[in-house]
Structure 1
Amino acid sequence: MLEPSRSPTRRLPRYGFHGHTEKLNGRLAMLGFIALVAVEFKLGHGLLIW
């Protein structure tokens, strides 16, 4: 039986859900939430109240 000389490599797509993009998105969301809490604390009232 013949064995292949090399194994195929998997190319990552340029878009979609990936580990590094999901981590970046999560970190930016956490920074935004902390910034929102800091602004609400500084102003003394919530920004999301209509």
Structure 2
Amino acid sequence: MTQTPPQPSVIPSLDVPKFGFNDYAERLNGRAAMVGFALTLIIEFVTGKGVMAWLGLH
């Protein structure tokens, strides 16, 4: 006699993907901005040059 595995007690509900401005998009954009800002600071610290010097505007 074979035993069947137990069934999950909670069925996950999958949300329909959203377009436009929504909480997930705003959260993702904020995180990307924080990573970009941190990388900018790190590169400025390592190279000793600011963003304007990188762009050749200084």
TM-score range, shorter chain: 0.5 to 0.7
Q: Secondary structure at the match of 1:48?
A: helix
Residue 21 (1) aligns with residue 25 (2): yes
Unaligned runs of 5+ in 2: 1-14
Match of 2:41 in 1: 37
Aligned to 1:47, which of 36, 51, 55? Answer: 51
Q: Which has the higher contact order (CA 8 A, sep 6+)?
A: 1
Give the share of equivalent positions with the same residue, in percent.
40
Helix, strand or coil: the match of 2:52? coil
Aligned positions, number? 40
Q: TM-score, normalised by structure 2?
A: 0.58
Indicate the RMSD between aligned Cα atoms, in angstroms.
1.9
Give TM-score scaled by structure 1 length.
0.66
Aligned to 2:5: none
In structure 2, the residue matched to 1:5 is: none
1:45 shift after superposition: 1.4
